[in-house]
């Protein structure tokens, strides 16, 4: 068990490292009101954040209801496989319990299954990020040529929606809804819901990819872009039928995935200090607890403000 990755990140370390100078960046924790210098490895993480739990029949019925809302059967099948994947270790436990193996072998197998339950979610996200690292590198260079390749665009959309839904803010949102079923545990189901919504929204954006486009926001001013523990945010309100996803890429560059034709030309534009401040305030307002910057003084200034109402 000593090799198990306990410190599991809900914001990709590779993303955060763009704000590091000499390996160090600044973090502000809203609840503790604490601003400090740190490294990307030490923030945006929680012990066994992606640990999976055995679902009750009520939990499974609830997730089946969510899955059934997807209009495409193929997408429903994908989401059912998420549930199966995260419940496989518990199924194995039942089979081991009823087998003729020795008590010592049973303990060893159960220990290995506990490792799977604690790490399968982390491994899944790590694989998504490995597949998308070259895309993030391209975005940081202001290159979106991958978008015209349907295979690469699907990788990008799925990566982006996972960065949106994998966060503690979203987990807390799922867990806070009025409980619709007696016996339902929204903590257990919330781990899986993040994957279901990421798959659904990612698939929707991919199908509409010709209506969307990427615009690069170039920041040459004195105020850097910041990022947060909700690194991708929706700049549209919930009343809008489409989304506009903002994703800071570094202190000097950010991107928008948008349908707004007026913003898509030119594809890259310089942004004013006021625009940067507005995006930064949105990131700060949408954070669950942590925001990050390469500039300690500026981070202190923006986090001294009262958070606005922002739903991410």
H helix intervals, the chain: 13-16, 57-68, 73-97, 103-140, 150-165, 168-176, 186-207, 273-286, 296-302
CA angle 289, 305, 15 (to 5 degrees): 40
With contact defined as beta carbons under 8 Å apart, do 233 and 169 qualify? no
Most confident residue range from 61-70, 99-108, 223-232 = 223-232
- Enter the pTM of the model: 0.94
Residue 2's pLDDT band, with cuts at 50, 70 and 90, is: very low
Q: Are strands 290-293 and 25-29 parallel, antiparallel or unpaired?
A: antiparallel
Q: What is the pLDDT of residues 203-229, one digit of tens each?
A: 999 999 999 999 999 999 999 999 999
CA pair distance 2, 47, nearest whole angstrom = 14
3-state secondary structure of 271: coil
DSSP 306: P
How are strands ordered across the β-sheet holding 213-218? 233-234, 245-250, 253-258, 213-218, 268-270
Q: Are strands 227-228 and 245-250 parallel, antiparallel or unpaired?
A: unpaired
Q: What is the pLDDT of residues 260-275, one digit of tens each?
A: 878 888 899 999 999 9
Structure tokens at 244: 């506009």
Alpha carbon 72 to chain centroid distance?
A: 23
More confident residue, 255 or 238: 255
| Residue located via tokens 């993303």 | 15
- The 10 Å Cβ neighbour count of residue 116 is 16
Q: What is the pLDDT of residues 146-168, one digit of tens each?
A: 999 999 999 999 999 999 999 99
Phi first, then psi, for residue 262 (nearest 5°) are -65, -20
Residue 99's pLDDT band, with cuts at 50, 70 and 90, is: confident
Residue 239's pLDDT band, with cuts at 50, 70 and 90, is: confident
With contact defined as beta carbons under 8 Å apart, do 213 and 146 qualify? no
| Residue located via tokens 């895309």 | 135
CA pair distance 275, 217, nearest whole angstrom = 10
CA pair distance 12, 129, nearest whole angstrom = 8
The mean pLDDT value for 282-290 works out to 97
3-state secondary structure of 133: helix
Residue 310's pLDDT band, with cuts at 50, 70 and 90, is: low
With contact defined as beta carbons under 8 Å apart, do 211 and 261 qualify? no
């Amino acid at each position: 068990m000593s090799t198990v990755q306990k410190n599991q990140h809900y914001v990709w370390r590779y993303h955060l490292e763009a704000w590091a100078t000499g390996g160090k960046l600044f973090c502000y924790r809203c609840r503790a009101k604490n601003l400090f210098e740190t490294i990307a490895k030490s923030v945006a993480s929680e012990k066994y954040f992606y640990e999976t739990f055995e679902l009750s029949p009520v939990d499974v019925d609830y997730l089946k209801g969510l899955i059934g809302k997807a209009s495409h059967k193929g997408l429903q099948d994908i989401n059912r496989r998420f549930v199966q994947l995260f419940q496989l270790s518990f199924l194995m436990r039942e089979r081991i319990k009823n087998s003729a193996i020795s008590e010592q072998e049973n303990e060893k197998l159960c220990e290995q299954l506990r490792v799977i339950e604690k790490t399968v979610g982390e491994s899944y996200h790590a694989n998504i990020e490995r597949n998308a690292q070259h895309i993030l590198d391209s975005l940081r260079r202001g290159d979106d040529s991958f978008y015209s390749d349907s295979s690469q665009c699907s990788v990008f959309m799925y990566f982006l929606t996972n960065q949106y839904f994998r966060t503690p803010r979203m987990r807390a949102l799922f867990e806070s809804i009025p409980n619709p079923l007696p016996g339902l545990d929204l903590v257990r189901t919330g781990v899986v819901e993040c994957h279901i919504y990421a798959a659904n929204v990612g698939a929707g954006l991919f199908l509409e990819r010709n209506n969307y486009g990427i615009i690069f926001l170039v920041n040459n001013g004195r105020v850097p872009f910041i990022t947060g523990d909700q690194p991708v945010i929706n700049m549209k309100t919930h009343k809008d039928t489409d989304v506009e996803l903002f994703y800071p890429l570094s202190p000097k560059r950010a991107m928008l995935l948008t349908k707004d034709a007026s913003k898509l030309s030119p594809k890259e534009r310089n942004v004013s200090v006021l625009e940067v401040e507005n995006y930064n305030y949105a990131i700060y307002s949408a954070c669950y607890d942590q925001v990050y910057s390469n500039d300690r003084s500026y981070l202190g200034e923006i986090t001294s403000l009262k958070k606005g109402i922002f739903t991410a």
